[in-house]
Amino acid sequence: MKLLDVGDKAPDFSLKDKDGKVHSLAGIKSKYVVVYFYPKDDTPGCTIEANEFNQNLSEFKKLDTTIIGISGGDEKSKTKFCKEHDLNLLLLSDPDFSVCTKYGVYGEKNFMGRIFMGINRITYILDKNNKVLKVYEKVNPKGHAEEIIELIKTL
């Protein structure tokens, strides 16, 4: 698992949202893009993280920043997750983990002594040219959205 580094160009992708609409990184025209990878829809940490991003969408919009959450699963799991928690942010499905692999976030995980393959909770902040400005590893879901807002205000 090799993460992207600051200064790297983030790989483009085309992934579906909960409605089956395809979104690509190249199609986003905001000044900044936050691409956050999360392990699984509707799990405790992922719900905290998604809710915090969702609650701060207007602040991110003021900062000309697009938020994209990516995890495995399909459109159905995204639809259920968004409906259950009243989420309006853009969540995309990477069912074969190909995008997660390109971004270096898919790999071996260890939870309670069990080793398995999965998505690590990692966030990339990109500029309008999709260049990596900041990498957050080992993200704590609580307060992460606020942490990113504070960073973007300084850029």
Phi, psi of 47 (to 5 degrees): -70, -45
Query: Which residues, 6+ apart, have CB-to-CB distance to 7 below 8 Å?
Result: 131, 132
Angle of helix 44-55 versus helix 144-154 axis, rounded to 10 = 40
| 82 assigned to active site | no
CA-to-CA separations, 137 to 36, 99, 102, 108, 123, in angstroms, rounded: 10, 17, 16, 15, 7
Q: Which of 10, 25, 33, 46 is catalytic?
A: 46
Residues classed as catalytic: 46
